[in-house]
Amino acid sequence: MIYIPRWKVLLTIFICGLGIVYSVPNLLNKSTLEYLPESMRPVKLGLDLQGGAHLLLEVDTQKGLVDRLNDHLDALRRGLRSKNIGYLNLKSDGQVITFELRDSSREDDLMAVLSDVENIFEVAQEGNTFQLEFLPREKKELTQSMVRRSIEIVRRRIDEFGTAEPTIQQQGSDRILVQMPGVDDPARVKKLIGKTAKLTFHLVHRDNGKHTSHQTLPSGTRRLKSQDAREGSILIHRRVLLNGERLIDARLAFDRESQKPMVDFRFDNLGGRKFAQITSKYNVQASPTENRLAIVLDDTVLSAPVINTVIRDRGTISGNFTSREANDLALLMRSGALPAPLEIIEERTVGPDLGADSIAAGKMATVVAIILVGLFMILTYSFFGMVANIALVFNIILLFALLSIIQATLTLPGIAGIALTIGMAVDANVLIYERIKEEIRNGKKIVPAVDSGYNNAIATIIDSNLTTLIAAAALFFFGSGPIKGFGVTLALGIMISMFTAITLTRIIVSYWLQWKRPKKLPI
């Protein structure tokens, strides 16, 4: 008689029972689920099944590095000026900063200035020409922190936007994957994510209004387009008086008189002090010629109000906004500026009804697959086919239980993976039954035939399934989201089918043999 230790039998029953318990949440509706403990949750559905938007963003780190270099260029210029060191041709080409020292006797003073940036730049000198290039280590750190900060800001913006359970994660070195279930028109989200949202305050130049665009601009100024169509463009000083980093809050508000939407913002202590300084220096009384403050977001002047009095820590932007625009602007101001531009390089959006259709079709196909394979097995192996079918049903139950426990994401290819596993799951049983048949043909008695059938088939089952698992692992590690889902279900399906064939069907067959003691195997 085939002897199976009692603990093995109990363990198998225990595992199958656990499988039933953990797969049950998948059959329940949302309201019933609330009564279940936290650990019992249904399978997570991929975006292709529940509907939603999938965005892959790339951080333009090259552009970010160029910006950082320009920041350093400005700092260097200030440093040289404050020490009265003469220089020529101070410029950056995006990779390196170059300049010439006017008076070589000031080299020691220059070195003192450069010593501040010695862990950031590699300084090369040729005669009086100096060249500053980011150290590779610094470049790497800058890039990494740029990506980290971008993720942080994208997360803030999306959280503020109020999407349910968004996923935001880094992918590769400079990409960000954003998944937003339930969002089927991501246009507005994309607008919010795509904006760098660099907020700066500048003084409007006194010649604004006099100059037209073809004339040469006064030095240190820029002409920027204005949000207000009536004004067209505005001539501003390049110098940044204050930037958005000092903001602590920005909210949608409405003008008390006109009820027009606007954005209310507040600075932190330091920013407030600076703002007070600026407004006391440039208000109408103190500065009759230049007293307009341009509020600039990503090279567009949002508004350029006249400074009437000294303002401390709060202000308003009253452009020509709709309340939605004002709300989005406040959101962008709150969440801070992106360190580098983001480009959306992949976008996949699935509407919720398509997802529901896919689930329904997937269910249907899976059920048909089970019935067809089940019938086929009964027709081929009669009683033993039934046993294989019990194993098949438990395969599906255990698969869903495992998917639920590890909270894997079920995708549309994942459903195909399940159906494919149904076809392949019976393979282990087929191998065993064919082996038993052979043993009987070779003249063995029933019980030893069954016994050696199982024993001999196991090595084959393990070898053949492990090689398939290698292919499934490759799918998992290199595929994108939906394909990963396929890899997961295929791999789990194979492992579970090995388990049920070796333990569950063996137990059933051995108990059946003890109970019936058949003279001839119905196989």
Partner 1 sequence: MAFISLNKIPNINFMTFRKVGYALSGLFIFLSFLSYFTKGLNYGIDFRGGYLIEIKTQEKADIAQMRSDLSRLNIGAVNLQEFGSDRDVLIRIESQDDGLSENESQEKVLEKIKLTLGEGITYRRVETVGAKVSQDLVWNGILAALLATVGIAIYIWFRFEWKFGICAVIGLVHDCIVVIGLYSLIAIEFNETEIIAILTTLGYSINDTVVIYDRVRENLRKFKKRSLGHIINLSLNETLSRTILTAGTTLLALFALYFFGGYVIEVFCLPIIFGIIIGTYSSICVVPFLLLLFPEKKTETAGL
Residue numbers 488-507 binding partner 1 by CB under 8 A: 490
36 binds partner 1 (CB under 8 A): no
User: According to CB under 8 A, which residues from 284 to 343 bind partner 1?
Assistant: 343
Between strands 121-126 and 129-134, the pairing is antiparallel
Whole-number minimum distance, CB 210 to partner 1, in Å?
34
Stretch that binds partner 1, among 160-168, 234-242, 257-265, 431-439 (CB under 8 A): 431-439
Provide the 3-class DSSP secondary structure of residue 284.
coil
Provide the 3-class DSSP secondary structure of residue 173.
coil
User: According to CB under 8 A, which residues from 439 to 468 bind partner 1?
Assistant: 441, 459-460, 463-468
Whole-number minimum distance, CB 233 to partner 1, in Å?
22
Among 124, 345, 393, 406, interactor with partner 1 by CB under 8 A:
345
351 or 448: CB nearest partner 1 = 351
Report the distance separating Cα 48 and Cα 37, nearest Å. Answer: 27
88 binds partner 1 (CB under 8 A): no
Query: CB within 8 A of 107, min separation 6: which ones?
Result: 101
Cα separations in angstroms, 299 against 337, 360, 444: 13, 49, 87
* DSSP state string for 39-83: T--PPEEPHHHH-EEEEEEEE-HHHHHHHHHHHHHHHHHHHHHHT
Among 420, 447, 507, 513, interactor with partner 1 by CB under 8 A:
420
Contact 281, 287 (CB under 8 A): yes
User: In degrees rounded to 5, what are phi and psi of residue 75?
Assistant: -65, -40
Whole-number minimum distance, CB 71 to partner 1, in Å?
24
Report the distance separating Cα 115 and Cα 132, nearest Å. Answer: 12
Between strands 121-126 and 96-101, the pairing is unpaired
Whole-number minimum distance, CB 226 to partner 1, in Å?
21
173 binds partner 1 (CB under 8 A): no
Give residue 385's identity as a one-letter amino acid code: G
431 binds partner 1 (CB under 8 A): yes
478 binds partner 1 (CB under 8 A): yes
SS (H, E, C) 179-247: EEECCCCCHHHHHHHHCCCCEEEEEECCCCCCCCCCCCCCCCEEEEEECCCCCCEEEEECCCCEEHHHE
Cα separations in angstroms, 128 against 270, 441, 476: 40, 96, 57
Query: CB within 8 A of 386, min separation 6: which ones?
Result: 377, 378
Count of residues in contact with partner 1, rule CB under 8 A: 79
472 binds partner 1 (CB under 8 A): yes
369 or 508: CB nearest partner 1 = 369
426 binds partner 1 (CB under 8 A): yes
User: According to CB under 8 A, which residues from 120 to 159 bind partner 1?
Assistant: none
Whole-number minimum distance, CB 427 to partner 1, in Å?
4
Among 67, 313, 328, 427, interactor with partner 1 by CB under 8 A:
427
Contact 54, 348 (CB under 8 A): yes
349 binds partner 1 (CB under 8 A): yes
Among 103, 347, 406, 511, interactor with partner 1 by CB under 8 A:
347
User: According to CB under 8 A, which residues from 352 to 411 bind partner 1?
Assistant: 353-354, 357-358, 361-362, 364-366, 368-369, 372-373, 376-377, 379-382, 385
Whole-number minimum distance, CB 417 to partner 1, in Å?
9
